[in-house]
Amino acid sequence: MEQLAQFYAVYGSVINFIGINALLALSLNFTLAAGMLSLGNAAFAGIGGYTAGILTVHLKAPLIVSLCGGSLMAGVVGLLLGMPVLRLKGVFLAMATLAFGEVVRIAAVNLDITGGAEGLTGIPNITRTWMIFLALALAAYFMATLRRSRIGWGLISIREDETAAACLGVDITYYKVVAFTIGAMVAGFAGAMYAHLNYLITPRDFGFFIAVDLLVYNIVGGTRIWYGPILGAALLTALPEILRGVGVAAGPVRLAVNGVILLLVILFLPNGLASLFTRLRPVAVKTGRAERT
Amino acid sequence: MNLLAQQLVNGLFIGSVYGLFAVGYTLVFGVLDILNLAHAAVFTLGGLSAVWLVQAAGMSIWLAFPLATLLAGGLGLLINAAAFAPLRRRADSQFSGLISSIAMAIIFDAAALGLFGARSVRFPPGTVKVHVWQIAGVTITSLQVGIVLVATLLMLILTLFLQRSRTGKAIRTVAENERAAMLLGVNVSGIIAFTFFISSALGGAAGVLYGLYFDSLAPDMGRAIELKGLAVIILGGMGSIPGAILGGLAFGLSEVLTVAVSGTSNLRDAVAFTVLFAILLLRPSGLLGRGKLREA
Amino acid sequence: MNLSVDNISRSFGGVQALMDVSFEVELGTIHGLIGPNGAGKTTLINILSGVLPPTHGQVLYQGLSLHHLPAHQVAALGVARTFQNIRLFPTMTCLENVQAGQHLTAERPLMPRLLRLPSAGREDRELEERARDNLVRVGLGDRASHPARSLSYGERRRLEIARALALNPSLLLLDEPVAGMRRGEAAEVADLIRSLVQGGMTILLIEHNMAFVMEICSCITVLNFGRVITTGSPDAVRRHRDVIEAYLGSERGDA
Ligand SMILES: Nc1ncnc2c1ncn2[C@@H]1O[C@H](COP(=O)(O)OP(=O)(O)O)[C@@H](O)[C@H]1O
Ligand SMILES: [Mg+2]
């Protein structure tokens, strides 16, 4: 028991970040499940974080109100953004969400209420580890269940082939917007919890490179099953500590290990680390004949 | 008035570097429909290795510049071999290629950090002799003129190469239709590797010019230009070389004008990204793009 | 109350793929759509299924106009289709492909599943049962857990039919359902199609295999260069002068 307390004293903040990152990775998985490549979820986390921080600092709202407010705000923005941008596909959707993320970041730098480039300070440190992991468990359960529901079948059909899905009665636009909005709400909630973990949030906490990290967590862990993104986020968030444990100093080597892991996974485990634990089907191979039309 | 003219001239200089960076970026996309997110890391390594060649190896910049450019081209070959060629037959190659290029970017960033350290460096004083001219109240340096000239020259050579040379035509055939190119006897995988070489060489050259212009290089300098490069190639239309050049200039100008009008550098990128977002929604093929790419 | 195609035109840029196409499909029959390659047959199926809007004209089915509806709403009216260039869900198993096809016939509500109510499990078992029946129907009963990609060409076509049947359609549009099949396999599909029509379904099918079309269709429409040459019984079509010319002229009579 004492050892456990000691472990927590040393690694508590890593454990918290694993939970937050896993939740953020999961939020992106809602969009990836339908084959949509979004780089906007870091910005949704930012919207959630700033909204919640402002609610707490300026309006003295209780934590649960701030968390839900942040999540809701991110969801509303996700809904408004999703309707126009989800017509775009592939890298173009990625670029549009990236541009959106930059606009959000620039707004956070320039607004007074967000505290500008120095960030929003004075947010009480009241998120607890159990809250993070409760939220993560609920989101993971929701994700796992969603996949077996009507929405889940629709989303996966869209990922596989949009035209065929539409001809089976799947309302493509509606399902995409729903998935995008749910993802935004989960990201917003995670961002809101993050804000109350740190005293301070700054625009840098939610930039382009965070968005890329979320994608990387998903790919390394595996996008096709609910625990894939959690696995990826946990491994890559803990990796610096693990490497420190085996004596690798901070800096270039750690970074290189990150890159090499990612490269090896994408080359040899296209369904991510999760495919080591379940029998997931391999990614389709291009056949000679033209299958896209 | 003079201030505005000065800003416009500055925008032109930095815009030509953005254009050079973006031309390489868009070339790979035009041929393979794939975004190479390691392009910015090549840009960084190109710039830093030129500094090293000048500072530690004592070379003249006139030798260091082409050497760094070739080295960057070599990195392009490495990117292709490690990150793209193995994925080419996979149905999700557009997506997985994006990820593997992120992996290469991380590895290159680590290399930059390990080889050149985390601190920012600069070319030794006197690397290039700088004359300063005052023309109608606008200050122009010979360095700036040289940067524009070199960038323009490289872009011109690329354009002529793609239009006139046999290899350039082969590249365009592969871009048009890979299968047809193969049937015509084009060595497709060779052409793709060569495309990566050119693209990365241009990216590295842009890194050297950027470092000369701002007189400061750091392992994270690629981050600043990565997003701008993406914005530029979308503004210009993915895959379009003239579009990337014009997009680069437009982006450079919008930056300096936004700063001049708003009076704060915090808003520097705001206009550009708002415009980018609007373009994606209203005219997703970009200003000079090949429209068909968006739908498929 | 028939399916009526009324003056449909469609162009792609400068290419006029369909020009004033009109014909009627009697409900509960098998209607054939033939014509040389590039005649516009697939384009017509795309328009009927809501994948493409027509440039002009209208489509009426059961008194409702389809031509301005998006594909998922057309499907909701009981119109299912297959694709000439097979579009299965490649990483799903055969069974999952058919289960995905049950989108409109299944409820699969989220709440009971989140709450682990027994009704959810019951629905899933029923749906799986029905999906297996569909597979058996097209002769793929033993392939349920195979990935769709592992199937042979003919099997993929049959799986697409099974997935379309999961909609419980009243109108089924088949784009070259027996292309690439061996003779025996094609005969099985012919039997399947007949049994579907006996169950009350209406079928519009495109096929290059003349023997197949002549044998199972009660009525045939012939397209050439985007125009209807004729609509009539197999015998009448076989004897039609312009049809013979269209086919011999393009040397695709046996394609
Ligand atoms: N999506 C499209 N874009 C451009 N042209 C098309 C498209 N679909 C079909 N076409 C053109 O329309 C004509 C008819 O094609 P199609 O309907 O596929 O013929 P069929 O199925 O009878 O062989 C062809 O000339 C084809 O090139
Ligand atoms: Mg056809």
Q: Which residues contact A166 (CB under 8 A, 6 or more apart)?
A: A172, C50, C51, C70, C71, C72, C75
Q: Are A193 and A50 in contact (CB under 8 A)?
A: no
Is the CB of A219 less than 8 angstroms away from the CB of B269? no
Containing C16, the helix (H) or strand (E) segment is strand C15-25
- CA closest to A159 among chain C residues: C89
Over residues B17-43, the mean pLDDT reads 91
Computed over every residue of chain C, the mean pLDDT equals: 92
Residue C176 in contact with residue C208, Cβ under 8 Å? yes
Question: Which own/partner pairs from B91-94 qualify as long-range (CB within 8 Å, at least 24 positions apart)?
Answer: B91/A283, B91/A284, B91/A285, B91/A286, B91/C90, B92/A270, B92/A283, B92/A284, B93/A286, B93/B34, B94/A90, B94/A91, B94/B33, B94/B34
Whether the CB-CB separation of B202 and B213 falls below 8 Å is answered with no
Cα C56 to the center of its chain, rounded Å = 22
Contact A85 B281 (CB under 8 A): yes
Contact B101, B25 (CB under 8 A): no
Tokens standing for residue A176: 């995409």
Q: What is the DSSP letter of C26?
A: -
Reported ipTM: the value is: 0.93
pLDDT at C60 over 90: yes
pLDDT category of residue C243 using cuts at 50, 70 and 90: confident
Nearest residue (CA) to ligand 1, atom 4: C12
CB within 6 Å of ligand 1 — which residues? C 12, 15, 17, 35, 37-43
Distance between CA atoms of residues A95 and A89, nearest Å: 10
Top-level CATH class of A14-280?
Answer: mainly alpha
pLDDT higher than 70, residue C161: yes
A280 pLDDT above the threshold of 60:
no
Collapsed DSSP state (helix, strand, coil) of residue C254:
coil
Compute the distance between CA of residue B172 and CA of residue A39 in angstroms, rounded to an integer.
31
User: Residues A253-275: what's their mean pLDDT?
Assistant: 89
Tell me whether residues B110 and A286 touch, CB distance under 8 A. Answer: no
A292: pLDDT confidence band, cut at 50, 70 and 90? very low
- Share the mean pLDDT of chain A: 89
Give the distance from residue A71's alpha carbon to the nearest chain C alpha carbon, in angstroms. Answer: 20
Taking only the tens place, the pLDDT of each residue in B208-217 is 999 999 888 9
Categorize the per-residue pLDDT at A290 as very low, low, confident or very high, splitting at 50, 70 and 90. very low
List, for residues A145-196, the tens digit of each pLDDT value.
Answer: 999 999 999 999 999 999 999 999 999 999 999 999 999 999 999 999 999 9
**By C-alpha distance, which of C20, C15, C8 is closest to C46?**
C8
For residue C203, what are its two tokens? 């079928």
Q: B164-210 pLDDT, tens per residue?
A: 999 998 888 888 888 888 888 888 999 999 999 999 999 999 999 99
Summarised one tens digit per residue, pLDDT across range A65-89 is 999 999 999 999 999 999 988 888 8
The closest of C157, C158, C161 to C172, measured between CA atoms, is C161
pLDDT tens digits for range C86-123 = 999 988 999 999 999 999 999 899 999 999 999 999 99
DSSP alpha helix (H) spans, C85-143: 94-101, 110-114, 118-137
Residue tagged 């400068």 (tokens): C14
Q: Any long-range contacts for C237-243 (C-beta under 8 Å, 24+ apart)?
A: C237/C34, C238/C214
Strands C3-12 and C15-25: antiparallel
Phi-psi region of B215 (alpha: psi -120 to 50; beta: other; left: phi over 0): left
Retrieve residue C250's tokens.
């393009």
Tokens 């636009």 appear where?
A173
Contact map slice: B 189-218 vs A, CB within 8 A = none
Q: For residues A268 and A216, give the distance between their C-alpha atoms in angstroms, rounded to a whole number.
A: 15
Mean pLDDT of C173-180: 94
Nearest-angstrom CA–CA distance, B133 and B139: 6
User: Is some CB atom of chain C closer than 8 A to the CB atom of A153?
Assistant: yes
Q: How confident is the model at residue C59 (pLDDT cuts 50, 70, 90)?
A: very high
Record: contact C103-A291, CB cut-off 8 A: no
* Residue B237 pLDDT exceeds 80: no
How far apart CA A221 and CA A235 sit, in angstroms, is 8
CB A15 within 8 A of CB A128: no
User: Is the model more confident about C254 or about B286?
Assistant: B286
Dump pLDDT digits (tens) for B132-157.
888 878 888 888 899 999 988 998 89
A154 in reach of chain C (CB within 8 A): yes
- Which residue has the CA at smallest separation from atom 3 of ligand 1? C12
Backbone phi, psi, residue C58, to 5°: -140, 160
Rounded to two decimals, the pTM is 0.89
* Confidence band, pLDDT 50/70/90 cuts, at residue C253: very low
CA B186 – CA A202 distance, rounded (Å): 52
pLDDT tens per residue across span A191-249: 999 999 988 999 999 988 899 899 999 999 998 899 999 999 999 999 888 888 887 77
Count other C-beta atoms under 10 Å from residue A52's C-beta.
Answer: 33
Dist. CA C52 → ligand 2 center (Å) = 14
**Rounded mean pLDDT, B258-262:** 82
d(CA B202, CA B76): 10
Are the Cβ atoms of A163 and C71 closer than 8 angstroms? yes
User: Which stretch, A49-58, A80-89, B265-274, has highest mean pLDDT?
Assistant: A49-58
Of A92, A106, A284, the CB nearest to B91: A284
DSSP state of C230: E
For residues B46-66, average pLDDT: 92
What are φ and ψ of residue B286, in 5° steps? 75, 180
Instruction: Retrieve residue B187's tokens.
Output: 């060595």
Closest C-alpha to ligand 1, atom 11: C17
Residue C255 pLDDT greater than 60, yes or no: no
Structure tokens at C103: 């989108």
Residue C254 has pLDDT above 80, yes or no: no
Select the highest-mean-pLDDT range: A69-73, B32-36, B242-246, B280-284.
A69-73
pLDDT at C151 > cutoff 50 = yes
Residue among B225, B267, B271 at smallest CA distance from B14: B225
Does position B288 have pLDDT exceeding 70, yes or no?
no
